[in-house]
Structure 1
Amino acid sequence: MPSLRTARPRWSLLAPLAAFVMLLASTGPASAASAAGRPAPGSGSRTVVDIPPDVTAGVAVFDRLTGRFTESFQADLAFRSASVVKLLLALDHLWTRDPVHDLPQADRDRIGAMLSSSDDAAASHYWAAGGGSAVISRMVARLGLTGTAPPPSGYPGFWGYTATTAADTVRVYRYLLDEAPAPVRDFVMGALHRSTRCATDGFDQGFGLPSAFDGPVAVKQGWSGFSSGGCGVTARSRGSSPDEAAADLSAPADESPGPGPKPAAGGAGEPPPGRASAPALDLTSDALHTTGTVGPDDRTIIAVLTLHPDGTPYGRAYNKVTALVAALNAPGADRPAGIRFTTWGSGVRVRSGASTASTALTILPAGVDVLVDCQERGERVSVPPYVNDWWAHLPQYDGWITNIYVTSPDNTLPGVPGCS
């Protein structure tokens, strides 16, 4: 029997998250926030944000209790919306309909899936039913949006290429929470509060807000160009083995092959082959957006829109976006306790107990950061040449992973207490 030894490859280093945001405070009156719901000079928002390397970002954070923006960085920079546009598709359809009395059950189910699980087929349905780009033109006029526009010329059917900004996204949430009829507010926000980790298409939606905060969180994510590698306990990884973690050991997570071909042209907003990108909107870089609310009574609205170099591994983008969000000034947010570490390998299983015989609760995307609150000895796991009997508890999954797949210089994780 081999002796216990360092439980991960030489390239793995301890990687707790660093705060990516620097504070430059101002103290203007709350009234400086404009009626359109965007930051204004003197609104109390931070104006300098340290964005992770190679990331383009637009950030806006609005505290509904004080009427102030607590964060603002390139809030009026236009991004392709990806699935964030589904908020506008839902609101357009509900503009003259009471979801309690006027909405057939089929529409309630379809809109619910579009918002909670980012269902693309539902989005395509409402895009077509609403007249395509006319949906965006109507909602721009209704909500007073200034940075939102239909897809570029040549892409009329690609709803994911709708242009939007962080400031306009905040405005959409402010309308939902403070101006929309109560049945519409409750229906839409209820669906966002029930956001699922796995989207209908199998994409892992755990980045950003869901990973950075606990407590009441409403979420609408968006992505374009990424593959998360599947989501849920049925996902299979490259070169998987039948035992614990089914991990791909051929390369460290940050050197794994790229996310593969982009989805085919269609509802998700990817361009048909051979078409040039519109010059005013970056349609090439991979997009990863996290938006929603945190805190009791949806106190704080957060919109973080990001672009990453084409081919960026999902785990790397996941970690950068989550770190950026975790460092934001978000009043009322419940921040989880623990220390973040980076995993390696793909298809790592989170289990109900500290053994490979325990039920697999979910599978982690390759190379993502996880929050660890304690560790304890359990089943000895061998992934030659590595052997370890320590397991890490992940409070956000209420489950365990073997320390073999958590980056650390030793079998135990530094700074993490025992569980008993």
Structure 2
Amino acid sequence: MFAHGKTVVQRAPHRVFRSASVIKLLIALDQLERGDDPLLGPMLRSSDDGAASELWRRNGRGAIVTRMARRIGLTETAPPPVERPGFWGYSALSAADVVKVYRYLLEDVPAGTREKVLGELRRATRCGTDHFDQYFGIPRALRRPWAVKQGWSGFGDAPGRPCLDGAVPVLGPALGIGRPVLHTTGVVGDKIVVVLTLQPAGTSFANAYRQLTALTREVFRAAGE
């Protein structure tokens, strides 16, 4: 957790994970340097994979990650492997780098870009377009105001229990290919919160959802919040 100009709670901040949909933050920031696009809303609010794939293809695939990592100063973020160029979710990142992305968004981009991205993240829908419930971690554990970008991968193409929105691989062992990942990231009030997890093989989405939400609460307690 980053708050009041410093890191207040951290554990293994430089461990590298596969990004899942958290990389959509970089896809969005890269696109906004060219201009707004109607695909950005569904990609950021509802984690729409089709929208992400189109922007990924259009803007150079892994070159997006390379450009934005250089611009922001990310040291543990990398594009997917060359043999998987279309797999944006196999990009690599660390919690420390995700904090840098949010700091860049809050401190360094034009106001219009900042409000576009944060505005969509504040309106994150409970259900992603793939019918997974994305209100784990920050949205479930912490009070608004929050603006979140979640990530999930390895739980199959559809959840065991589809979400009903009543309210609105780098390949290899380091990235846990073959094991599920579940990430919660975002801005909560004046704090940046990033919790990235690699789950044991076979973990259900429901169990990972509960565990990550509990872990997010623990992070806030450890920070004295």
* Structure 2 SS opposite 1:328: helix
Tell whether 2:5 aligns with 1:62. Answer: no
Alpha-carbon separation, structure 2, partners of 1:177 and 1:76: 21
User: Which among 99, 109, 114 is matched to residue 185 of structure 1?
Assistant: 114
Q: Deviations over 1:236-288 (max 9, x none)?
A: xxxxxxxxxxxxxxxxxxxxxxxxxxxxxxxxxxx6xxxx9434432111000
Matched, 1:221 2:112: no
Q: 1:81, CA displacement in angstroms? A: 0.2
* Local SS of the residue matching 2:9: strand
Given that 2:46 and 2:125 are in contact with CA atoms closer than 8 Å, whether structure 1 keeps it comes out as: yes
Identity %: 51
Structure 1 position 153, deviation (Å): 3.5
Match of 2:21 in 1: 83
Contact 1:289 1:305 in 2 (8 A): yes
1:94/1:166 CA distance change after superposition, 3 Å: same
Query: Which letter does structure 2 place at the counterpart of 1:157?
Result: G
Whichever residue aligns with residue 142 of structure 2, its letter is F
Bigger fraction of residues in strand = 1
In the aligned structure 1, how far is the partner of 2:33 from the partner of 2:98?
18
What TM-score do the two structures reach when normalised by structure 1? 0.50
Matched, 1:307 2:191: no
Q: Using the alignment, how far apart are the partners of 1:310 and 1:302 within structure 2?
A: 25
Structure 2 Cα separation of the partners of residues 310 and 216 of structure 1? 34
**For 2:224 and 2:71, how far apart are their aligned partners in 1?**
30
Q: How does 1:196-345 map to 2 (within 5 A)?
A: 196-226=125-155, 227-228=158-159, 229-232=161-164, 277-295=171-189, 299-329=190-220
The number of aligned residues is 219
What SS class does the counterpart of residue 86 from structure 1 fall into? helix
Inter-partner Cα distance in structure 2 for 1:230 and 1:222: 17
Q: Kindly provide the amino acid, as one letter, of the partner of residue 278 in structure 1.
A: G
Q: Could you tell me whether the CA contact under 8 Å between 2:126 and 2:165 is conserved in 1?
A: no
For structure 1, the 5+ residue unaligned runs are 1-60, 98-102, 235-270, 334-420
Is the radius of gyration larger for structure 1 or structure 2? 1
The Cα offsets for residues 149-178 of structure 1, whole Å up to 9 and x where unpaired, read as 011232111000000000000000000011
More helix by share: 2
**What is the CA-CA distance between 1:327 and the residue it aligns to?**
1.3
Question: Residue in 1 aligned with 2:82?
Answer: 153
Gaps of 5+ in 2: none
Q: CA RMSD in A?
A: 1.9
Name the CA distance, whole Å, in 2 between partners of 1:89 and 1:150: 12
Displacement after TM superposition at 1:332 (Å):
9.9
Task: Please tell me whether the aligned partners of residues 116 and 195 of structure 1 are also in contact (alpha carbons under 8 angstroms).
Answer: yes
Structure 1 residue 112: Cα displacement: 0.9
